[in-house]
Amino acid sequence: MRRPALIGDLAAAFVLGLATFYGILEIRPAPDLFTGLLIALPGLLFFAALAAGAALIGHAWPTRKGESLHCASCGHAVAAENARLLPYCAECGQPWRHFGGRVRGRLITNHPRLVTGVILLSLAMLGMWARSFAQQQLLAQSPDWLLIRQVAVLSWADMQEPWREISARTLSPQSDRQLLETLLNRRARDGSLPSALAVYLQARASTGAMPRDLTDRWLAELFDARLLAPDSVEAGQRIPIDLLANFAAGWTGVADTPQVLLCGVSIDAREVAQSRWDRAAPTSGFGAGSTFFSHAVRTDKPGAVTIEVRGWFFVGQPDTIIKYDDAGAPILPINVYARPFSFSHTVNVREPPPTPNNGT
């Protein structure tokens, strides 16, 4: 194989290797192969043009073929010197009897293939420099469902143009719901959202522009609490009461800090001191599975003890002290979106075992 052709093939193979690696990185996170191929299509076209251009130029590069002698200056074939010596080229007049004046082989160039290779390389380089413009044109022609799928899998650095395009569109109700569900599913999968997407969800929820079921899901997935208390204790033992939280909102990047407000913990209808908060606590101060309220009570009387917990979780900025009405319900500011939570648990207090009689 000729050296230029070998170099062109090696360069094309290297570029195809890069294209394979790029395709794996782009297609692997996609929900299906078809979506991944559409997402990776611009980059794959760039690599394909680059590889094809390198191979064509390598195979079309000027090279010499055969054993005939030719003028090194103009390529004119050297005539047979039967009668006399010819010190100069009959075509261009250059001396060809000194070293290097004549070359062996006829110069061959595949001009159509060479021009095609140069055009492909030029298009690839131009596409690299004009990637932003080409991407905008491609995104403008993309259907809504494809843009929504890109929102589901791309990183924020790669998703900014698709997100800008889909934000500028007026989506159908079906596509709009698909977009909201995609964002919620991504948050549930990754545990967080890029801040721009999180703010978008919050704005839709706080303005009532999100379906009610999706709004409830958006808020419910930000906060989860559990009441930990034993099912049974002996009379005279302490009953530990712990409220554990799983505040996913602490790392979701929403604009207003999610907050929790404990509105009272009661034991047999008697409220525990300092269990009714007058200020909400930002969930960013709690970690996953951390305790945000703890209490213990001891009872010497066998029977059933009922523990009840009330509280609210909300997103907003209530900077003022929270007041309660006569029924014990908090009067929340109007600029918050809130969801109540409550727990009820019954602890069985058993008789202590009889003390063994050691007397005689």
Instruction: Please give the pLDDT value at position 316.
Output: 67
Cβ–Cβ under 8 Å, residues 64 and 103: yes
* pLDDT value of position 222: 75
Comparing 63 with 24, the larger pLDDT belongs to: 24
Tell me, what's the pLDDT at 360? 47
Percent of the chain exceeding pLDDT 90 equals 18
Residue 315 has pLDDT above 80, yes or no: no
pLDDT attached to residue 305: 92
What's this model's pTM, rounded to 2 decimal places?
A: 0.52
- Stated as kind and residue range, the H or E segment containing 313 is strand 303-315
User: 95 φ, ψ to 5°?
Assistant: -65, 135
pLDDT at 69: 78
Identify whether the C-beta of residue 171 lies closer than 8 Å to the C-beta of residue 179: yes
Q: What is the pLDDT of residue 130?
A: 64
Length, in residues, of the chain? 360
Q: Mean pLDDT, the chain, as a whole number?
A: 80
Structural domains of the chain sorted by starting position, each given as residue range(s) with its CATH number in brackets: 3-79+101-129 (no CATH), 153-220 (no CATH), 224-350 (2.60.40.10)
**Three-state secondary structure call for residue 7:** helix
At residue 146, the pLDDT reads: 87
CA 299 – CA 215 distance, rounded (Å)? 43
Residue 159 above 60 pLDDT?
yes
- What integer is the mean pLDDT of 216-240? 86
Contacts 24+ apart (CB under 8 A), 178-187: 178/144, 178/145, 178/148, 179/148, 179/151, 180/204, 180/210, 180/211, 180/214, 181/214, 182/148, 182/149, 182/151, 182/152, 183/151, 184/214, 184/217, 184/218, 184/221, 185/152, 186/151, 186/152, 187/221, 187/252
Where does the pLDDT of residue 250 fall: very low under 50, low under 70, confident under 90, or very high at 90 and above?
Answer: very low
**Residue 187, pLDDT above cutoff 50:** yes
Beta bridge partners of 104: 69
Query: Is the distance from CB of 349 to CB of 301 less than 8 angstroms?
Result: yes
Task: Report the DSSP beta bridge partners of residue 234.
Answer: 350
Q: Computed from CA positions of residues 33, 38, 41, 43, in that sequence, does the dihedral angle turn out positive or negative?
A: negative
What is the pLDDT averaged over residues 217-224?
78
* Three-state DSSP class for residue 289: coil
Please report the pLDDT score of residue 252 as a whole number. Answer: 47
Contact 54, 39 (CB under 8 A): no
Alpha helix ranges (H) inside the chain: 3-27, 33-60, 111-129, 131-140, 144-153, 156-167, 173-190, 195-206, 212-220
